[in-house]
Amino acid sequence: MSTDVPFRILPQLTDNNRAFWQGGERGELVFWRCQDCKFYIHPPQPICPMCHSKNLATEAVSGDATLTTYSVNYQPWMPGPELPYVVAIIEIVEQPSVRLTTNVVGVPIEALEIGMPLHVVFEHHPDPDGDVWIPLFAPPGYTS
């Protein structure tokens, strides 16, 4: 993607969220994971909510996900995305409690189905404070 990258309000990078927002540079969707009970933690927290361990590390997941719910937006609430666009909640296959609010791309709106398989794709945003790769989701095999 190049000049047609839509406007986004970019996240402020911190030591806790940098792995998530910059994993896309390597094509990786990255979360914090408890090294004791193997729970993926998102959004980032300093302590595992399952076992209260502080033994956490970042790990890449497969990028495979399923569509949990979505809405179709026909209103330009902010400059940027081409209309209509899809705001969705997806669950990663490794742990359905990890949900992301994201956009689904590369599929006609009529073809969207709850439960359909999706795979992460990244939208690169150069930024002087640190480039960001926004994870979006598309049908498996989609290339932008």
| Interface ranges with Zn ion (CB under 5 A) | 34, 36-37, 39, 48, 50-51, 53
CB of 37: closest distance to Zn ion in angstroms?
3
Q: Supply the DSSP symbol for 57.
A: E
CA torsion sign for 84, 90, 93, 94 is positive
**How would you class 100 by CB atoms within 10 Å of its CB: exposed for 0-12, middle for 13-18, buried for 19 or more?**
buried
Beta carbon of residue 36, minimum distance to Zn ion (angstroms, whole number) = 5
Three-state secondary-structure class, residue 126:
coil
Q: Which is nearer to Zn ion, 53 or 101 (CB)?
A: 53
- Residue closer to Zn ion, measured from CB, 21 or 39: 39
Tell me the closest approach of the beta carbon of residue 34 to Zn ion, in angstroms.
3
Complex with Zn ion: residue 48 or 90, whichever CB lies closer: 48
